[in-house]
Amino acid sequence: MKVRLMKMREAHTQKGGRASFCSLVWDQKAEHLVTASSSDVSVSIHNPLLPSTAPKILRHHRDGVTALALSPNSTCLASGSVDHSVKLYKFPGGEFETNITRFTLPIRSLAFNKKGSMLAAAGDDEGIKLINTVDGSIARVLKGHKGPVTGLAFDPNGEYLASLDSIGTVIIWELHSGKNLHNLKGIAPDTGLDLLTMNVLCWSPDGETLAIPGLKNDVVMYDRDTAEKLFTLRGDHTQPICFLCWSPNGKYMATSSLDKQILIWDVDKKQDIDRQKFDERVCCMTWKPIGNALAVIDVMGKYGIWDNVIPSSMKSPTEDIPMLGKNSNGLLLFDEEEEDNSVSGSLSDLGENSNGEFEPPTSRKRLRKHSFSEENLDEDGEEYGIDLFPKVESHKKRNRSVKENLNNGSVGFRSTMVTSKTKMQEAFQSGATPVQPGKRRFLCYNMLGSITTVDHDGYSHIEIDFHDTGSSPRVPSMTDHFGFTMAALNENGSVFANPCKGEKNMSTLMYRPFSSWASNSEWSMRFEGEEVKVVALGASWVAAVTSFNYLRIFTEGGMQRHVISLDGPPVTASGFKDKLVVVTHASDCLSSNEQVLEFSLFNIAQGTQPLRGRLPITPGSSLSWFGFSEEGQLCSYDSKGVLRLYTSQFGGSWFPVFSAIKEKKTDENYWMVGLNTNKLVCVVLKKPESFPQVVPKPILTLMNLSFPLATSDLGAEALENEFMMNSMHLFEVQKKMEEMDNAGLDASLLDDDAFNLEAAQDRCILRLIASCCNSDKLVRATELVKLLSLEKSMKGAIKLVTALKLPNLAEKFNDILEERLYNEVKKTTETNLKENSSAPVTSDTLPTSSKAETSKASIISSSPNLSAPSFIKKNKTQEAAIDGMNKPAIVNGSMKTGGDETSDKKGKEAMQAPPHPLGSSVKPTNKPGVDKSEPSLVTPTRPSNPFLKSSMK
Work out the end-to-end distance of the chain between its first and last CA atoms, rounded to an integer number of angstroms: 69
Q: Is the predicted pLDDT of residue 864 greater than 80, yes or no?
A: no
The pLDDT tens digits of the residues spanning 498-513 come to 987 655 668 999 999 9
Phi-psi group of 178: left, alpha or beta (phi > 0 → left; psi -120 to 50 → alpha; rest → beta): left
What is the reported pLDDT for 420? Answer: 47
Instruction: Report, in angstroms and rounded to the nearest whole number, the Rg of the chain calculated over CA atoms.
Output: 38
| Boundaries of every domain in the chain | 440-663, 716-824
Report the distance separating Cα 629 and Cα 910, nearest Å: 36
Q: Nearest to residue 551, comparing CAs of 539, 561, 565, 537?
A: 565
The pLDDT tens digits of the residues spanning 597-630 come to 999 999 999 999 999 999 999 988 999 999 999 9
Report the distance separating Cα 763 and Cα 793, nearest Å: 8
CATH number of 440-663: 2.130.10.10
What is the reported pLDDT for 53? Answer: 86
Categorize the per-residue pLDDT at 236 as very low, low, confident or very high, splitting at 50, 70 and 90: confident
The pLDDT tens digits of the residues spanning 254-291 come to 999 999 999 999 999 998 899 899 989 999 999 999 88
| Segment of 240-249, 502-511, 816-825 carrying the highest mean pLDDT | 240-249
Phi-psi group of 949: left, alpha or beta (phi > 0 → left; psi -120 to 50 → alpha; rest → beta): beta
Q: What is the three-state SS of 148-203?
A: CEEEEEECCCCCEEEEEECCCCEEEEECCCCEEEEEECCCCCCCCCCCCCCCCCEE
For the chain, give the percent of residues with pLDDT over 70.
75
Q: Which of 35-39, 146-150, 308-312, 389-393 has the lowest mean pLDDT?
A: 389-393
Output the pTM of the full model: 0.49
Q: Decide if 798 contacts 814 (C-beta within 8 A).
A: yes
Report the distance separating Cα 385 and Cα 382, nearest Å: 6
pLDDT (mean) for 667-696? 89
Q: Is the predicted pLDDT of residue 243 greater than 70, yes or no?
A: yes
459 vs 60 pLDDT, higher one: 60
For the chain, give the percent of residues with pLDDT over 90.
43
Q: Is the predicted pLDDT of residue 415 greater than 70, yes or no?
A: no
273 vs 366 pLDDT, higher one: 273
What is the reported pLDDT for 502? Answer: 55
Categorize the per-residue pLDDT at 738 as very low, low, confident or very high, splitting at 50, 70 and 90: confident
Categorize the per-residue pLDDT at 184 as very low, low, confident or very high, splitting at 50, 70 and 90: very high
Q: Is the predicted pLDDT of residue 332 greater than 70, yes or no?
A: no
Residues contacting 130, CB < 8 A, separation 6+: 118, 119, 120, 138, 139, 140, 141, 142, 161, 175, 388
428 vs 915 pLDDT, higher one: 428
Q: Nearest to residue 253, comparing CAs of 285, 282, 217?
A: 285
The torsion defined by the Cα of 9, 11, 12 and 18, in degrees rounded to 10, comes to -30
The pLDDT tens digits of the residues spanning 69-100 come to 999 988 999 999 999 999 999 998 999 999 99
Q: What is the three-state SS of 597-643?
A: EEEEEEECCCCEEEEEEEECCCCCCCEEEEEECCCCCEEEEECCCEE
